[in-house]
Amino acid sequence: MTNLLLFLRLSRPWFLFGGALNYFLGLGILRYLGFPIDWGVALLGQVWVTSLQLSTHYLNEYFDYPSDSANRHRTPFTGGSGVLGTGPGQLRPRVALVAAFCALTAVALATFVLGRLGALNSLVLTLMALVVAGAIFYSVPPVRLATSGYGELTTAILLANLVPALAFTLQYSELHRLLALSTFPITALTLASMISLEFPDYASDLKHGKRTLLVRLGWRNAVWVHHLLVASGYLLFVASFAAGLPGSLAWPPLLTLPLGLLQIWYLGRIAEGLKPHWTALTLNALAMTVASVYLLTYAFWTR
């Protein structure tokens, strides 16, 4: 039972919710446009996305283990799971590697079944290839985007743009402008959240030479980039409305604007010297993004 709980912590299931929600956004756009949904294909697509997410988690845990094990500012959302090690009450690092290969096997099986169902076409295969490449290269050397400063942007695009597009194109073999109008604002908010999530690990990442986006920018510059991304996310919702996104879809995510303003204010106070409460900062960052995606998805499904 102890090992099972440790493995559950290693899997960090709360992060899977974001991938599922973005996938459901793509299905919501499909439904809003009046296209039929094949729920068997939809479920297999979700299995594909979730399995790939899990493989990325496990690979990242495995390759980040040396630096994460020394992290003294771990939160529920940052600094790794902390369960890998060689001591009592820990899982051996090899467990994460084996789990990653098992998850990738599930990705391959889901791809095979989707192909047998006739759901794969050149556009879907291109999206899948981009998502797999981004997910694998995020963690695995020698590319290791997670330590290059480009991993955050790659992840934001994968989650906010490509996952909804994949859900959509598995059912309908063309892209639609509603995908871009809906997901570009989410990309900006997701990237801002990822910068916030790196602040608790900043000292540890500096010490171990892990060149995240925050490390490459420097914390002072990163604060301003974060503020700009949050502002851009909400302005893009307004711009999407001006570009043709119906108001009933564009305005609900703006209800999370107080969370965005709170995020800017609190991170700004930390930059001025306020003693940080990292869990509060990271929780609000995730709430800002997840709530925006949820409200947008809910609007598509109920209109």
pLDDT digits (tens, 9 = 90+) for 243-286: 999 999 999 999 999 999 999 999 999 999 999 999 899 999 99
**Cis preceding-peptide flag for 185 (omega within 30 of 0):** no
Predicted pLDDT of residue 173: 87
CB 300 within 8 A of CB 29: yes
Q: Which of 57, 133, 45, 136 is nearest to 99 (CA)?
A: 57
Mean predicted confidence (pLDDT) in 288-294: 97
For 74-115, write each residue's pLDDT tens digit: 666 676 777 887 777 788 889 999 999 999 999 999 999 999
| More confident position, 203 or 220 | 220
Mean predicted confidence (pLDDT) in 221-233: 97
For 7-40, write each residue's pLDDT tens digit: 888 888 888 999 999 999 999 999 999 999 999 9
Predicted pLDDT of residue 70: 61
Strand partners, 91: 84
Q: Which of 165, 211, 202 is nearest to 184 (CA)?
A: 165
Strand partners, 84: 91
Phi, psi of 120 (to 5 degrees): -95, 130
Phi, psi of 235 (to 5 degrees): -65, -35
Strand partners, 78: 75
Mean predicted confidence (pLDDT) in 139-163: 89
* Token pair recorded at residue 17: 């919710």
CA–CA gap between residue 53 and residue 172 (Å, rounded):
23
Q: Tell me the Ramachandran region of residue 92: left when phi exceeds 0, alpha when psi lies from -120 to 50, beta otherwise.
A: beta
Predicted pLDDT of residue 73: 64
CA–CA gap between residue 130 and residue 210 (Å, rounded):
24
Q: Which of 189, 180, 177, 170 is nearest to 46 (CA)?
A: 170
Predicted pLDDT of residue 251: 95
Hey, what amino acid is at 172? Y
Per mean pLDDT, which range of 2-11, 181-190, 201-210, 213-222 is the poorest?
201-210
Predicted pLDDT of residue 60: 87
**3-class secondary-structure state, position 39:** helix
For 45-79, write each residue's pLDDT tens digit: 999 999 999 999 899 888 877 766 666 666 666 76
124 pLDDT more than 80: yes
